Every structure is written in C-alpha cells, then in structure tokens.
Chains A and B, each alone.
Chain A
Amino acid sequence: MGLEKHWSETVFDLILDQDISLVSFVPDAGLSQLIDLCVAHDAVQTVRLTSEEEGVSLAMGSWLGGKKSLLLMQSSGVGNCVNMLSMLNTCQVPLPMIVTMRGDWGEFNPWQVPMGQGTESVLKEMGVTTFKAQRDDEVGEFAEGAIRLAFNTYRATAVLIGQRILGAKTFGR
C-alpha cells in the first residue's frame, strides 16, 4: 500500500500530460500536496486566489489566450463561484475543477455542512458535470475523465473528493 502513488501525484501527472499550464487555487489541507507539486514545477504557472470565483474568470481569460487551466478549491468555495460559472456555460469554456469536500463524511464543524451537502447540486445547477470520488483509487481515474471531458467538449467539470478519502478534520477530538 505504501508504494502506491498518492492521488495528488496522479493528478499532477495528468496536468503535465494534458498540457495544463495554469493552476489556480484557494488552499485546502486536502490539496496541499497537489498545490506544492504545482508551485514547484516550472511548466505550471500558479495563481493564488483570494476567492474561488477569481479562478473561474481567470480560466475564461486563459482560454481566450489559448492556455488550459485547472482550478483547485475546497467545497465551501463552490458557493463563491456560482454567478461566475454562468460565464463558462454561456461562452462554452472548458474548466476542470478539483474540489476537496468539507461538510461530508465524519465532519466535526456544523457550519461546514450546509455548503458541503449542497456542493454537488449547486455545481450541477450551474451546468458543471460532476464526479464524486469516495475511494482513493477513484480520484486519478475520475480526474482523467473530468479533464478530458472538459477540454474535449468545452465545458466545466468537477471532481469532488470525499472526506472519506481525505480524512475528516477533527479539531483534536
């Protein structure tokens, strides 16, 4: 088991393989390894965002300029993106997103639950195609499918990575 690749490495390999040259993010504990890999590699430009919706409009501009981008965020950030997602839908702009879940399996913090439970349906309502991974070995496969679907068919897609995979934040309890 210890020799298996962490999903972050699988997703990072996909970023390089699919010529995704811009990765924007609002940090999340579950994304820290993937963010570190992206920041450290010269082939990938990274933009740290103040709010997730910036990553949506950033992707619009990047695609206008001929470059593929990927957006990383925690599930609570999906709520910050809602109106901006209209732009991707209307303009048929590809954007894969990797969303690490909160308010999900084993959650400690009640304030995270409403957005966490609404994340997937909010994305779907805004025209984003979603894939929710509940097992570690699904993440790489779902990410590949989501990235290909996004750029092949000019749409927004999201892989949701469940807290069952990430481990719930327990605040020491």
Chain B
Amino acid sequence: MALLHRRKVVARLLSPRGDDLLVVAGLGAPAWDITSAGDHPLNFPMWGGMGGALAVGLGLALAQPEKRILVITGDGELLMGLNSLATVGVSQPTNLAIVTLDNEVYGETGKQKTHTGFGVDLSAVAASCGFQNSSIITSYSELDNFTQQLGSDGLMFAQVKVDAESDQLVLPPRDGALLKNRFRESLLGSSCHFAN
C-alpha cells in the first residue's frame, strides 16, 4: 500500500479551514507543512521545544474550550514527549486532536530511523493512555473521515503513515514573540495587549 504524503495530508486537514481551528505544529517538517498549507495567525509553528507540542496543545485546549485545537507533529517529536499522551489522557480535553505524521525517521537530521521504524505503535500507546478515538491512518479516505470528525467534540489521536520524502522548505516566521502575539491578537483581539 502506498504511503500518504505529508503535505497532501496537512492540506486536507487545513483546507477549508474554519475560524474555530487553532493549530500547533511540532518543530521541523510539521511546522513547514502547516505553513505550506497557508501561513495563518492561528498557527503556532514551533521552532524548538522538542517534545513539547502536545503540552502546548493541552494548555491551549484548556484555555479555549470552545475552539478545536489541532496538534500536528512528527513521530520523533512525539516520542520525545511520549509521557504527554498520559497527561492529555488524564485531562481528557474533548477539543484536542493530535495528528502524528509518522515517517519513521528523523527527517531534519539525516533520516535516521525513529522507534516507530522499529515497530513502536503510537496509536496503541495513545489508546492505553485513555484516547478512546485513536487510529492508524493509511489512506486518504480514512484521513477525510478523521478530518470530518474534527468538527464535533472528542479527544482524538491519529498516527498517519507518511512517506519519508523531504519537501521544499516553506518556513514560517522565526520570531517567537511575533508568532505568539499575532496568535493572541487574532484569537483574543487587540485588547489582549492592554490587559494587565
């Protein structure tokens, strides 16, 4: 079976895109992928903090219970913060969805194999941490089904099997303060800059 392609996966997840979707991307290719689908103030592409994407998503989900939060990250990034699956599973935020683009390699550092390349099953880990909706996605029809479910409540985890091709770099802004401030302004209004 042909593997999915990460850019196509992310494009299908993010377009069309509603105003109520807040997106966090783990460092490396996922950050370039969401930017390739269109730079957006309600994107938070991480340039560091490896292993932290899930917890960023959890903090956002708890702060904004009316919004759908989508964390898009890689298998290497998720493996570095695997414990956060347990923390999210205990918190059970029904507005958080996690998509792991699993190419089984560290794409930014020379395509060394990750643990998923040796058989570690991330969706089974998520399920055992309390994600009732946890799946491995190997086709675009399964992906479209997942994307539709983003519109309703539910804690979700998907491990999307993608190829290990490297795409053209599409870089988001690097200034963390800018990324944070434009996100907050878009979400909370410019009054957030005046609040104490």
* A interface residues with partner B (beta carbon < 8 Å): 21-22, 45, 47-51, 53-67, 69, 83-84, 86-87, 90-93, 151-152
Contacts and interface: CB of A to CB of B under 8 A. Distances in A.
B179 to A, nearest CB: 7
Contact of A61 (B55, B83, B179): B55
A61 B70 CA distance: 12
B149 interface: no
A140 B17 CA distance: 46
Interface of B: 22, 24, 44, 46-64, 67, 81, 83-84, 86-87, 90-91, 176-177, 179-180, 183-184, 187-188, 192, 196
A61 B24 CA distance: 9
Nearest to B174: A90
> Which 10 pairs between the two chains have the least Cβ-Cβ distance?
A61-B59, A65-B63, A57-B52, A91-B176, A57-B55, A62-B59, A90-B176, A61-B60, A67-B63, A61-B56
Nearest to B180: A91
Contacts of B52: 53-54, 56-57, 60, 84, 87
Given A47-B62, A64-B56, A90-B47, 9 more contacts: A47-B58, A49-B87, A58-B58, A60-B55, A61-B60, A65-B60, A90-B177, A91-B177, A151-B196
A51 to B, nearest CB: 6
Contacts of B64: 65-66
A22 B62 contact: yes
A47 B22 CA distance: 21
Contacts of A66: 63-64, 184, 187-188, 192
Nearest to B179: A91
The B interface, classified by DSSP as helix, strand, loop or mixed, is helix
B55 A58 contact: yes
A54 B55 contact: yes
Contact of B61 (A49, A54, A61): A61
A12 to B, nearest CB: 19
Contacts of A90: 47-48, 176-177
A64 B81 contact: no
A48 B90 contact: yes
B62 A67 contact: yes
B86 A93 contact: no
A50 B87 contact: yes
B55 A45 contact: no
Nearest to B90: A48
Contact of B59 (A50, A58, A86, A91): A58
Nearest to B48: A86
Contacts of A59: 59
A36 B62 CA distance: 20
B118 to A, nearest CB: 23
B188 A93 contact: no
A134 to B, nearest CB: 30
A31 B118 CA distance: 41
